[in-house]
Amino acid sequence: AQSVTQLDSQVPVFEEAPVELRCNYSSSVSVYLFWYVQYPNQGLQLLLKYLSGSTLVKGINGFEAEFNKSQTSFHLRKPSVHISDTAEYFCAAYRGGSQGNLIFGKGTKLSVKP
């Protein structure tokens, strides 16, 4: 069964520090991978996506992620975070076929402290 695992439920970090949010997926077929961000009391916003091609994907707000097929990972990174990046981040994988839909990880709460 395909699943998405976010290894950290909470990540506290100081402002201007780098951050990495980890995501691993399980699948024996090609996958489409996504990161979404949910700011407090708001909906889900697409941060970036990997469909094919270059394994380094750049998204909005300075975030990037690297698809690593051998390690089945899709970690999200930002070299310098801001207070405004405080939010919950969700990694998701698209499961195709007759049950096509996005499967989400449980989320990582990023807390940026001054």
Partner 1 sequence: DSGVTQTPKHLITATGQRVTLRCSPRSGDLSVYWYQQSLDQGLQFLIQYYNGEERAKGNILERFSAQQFPDLHSELNLSSLELGDSALYFCASSDRRGGNTIYFGEGSWLTVV
| DSSP label of 100 | -
Q: Is 43 in the site for partner 1 (CB under 8 A)?
A: yes
The residue behind tokens 């994907």 is 57
Q: Which amino acid is at 113?
A: K
Q: Is 83 in the site for partner 1 (CB under 8 A)?
A: no
Output the smallest distance, CB 111 to partner 1, in A.
18
Output the smallest distance, CB 65 to partner 1, in A.
15
Closer by beta carbon to partner 1, 13 or else 102: 102
In whole angstroms, give the CA distance from residue 112 to residue 114. Answer: 7
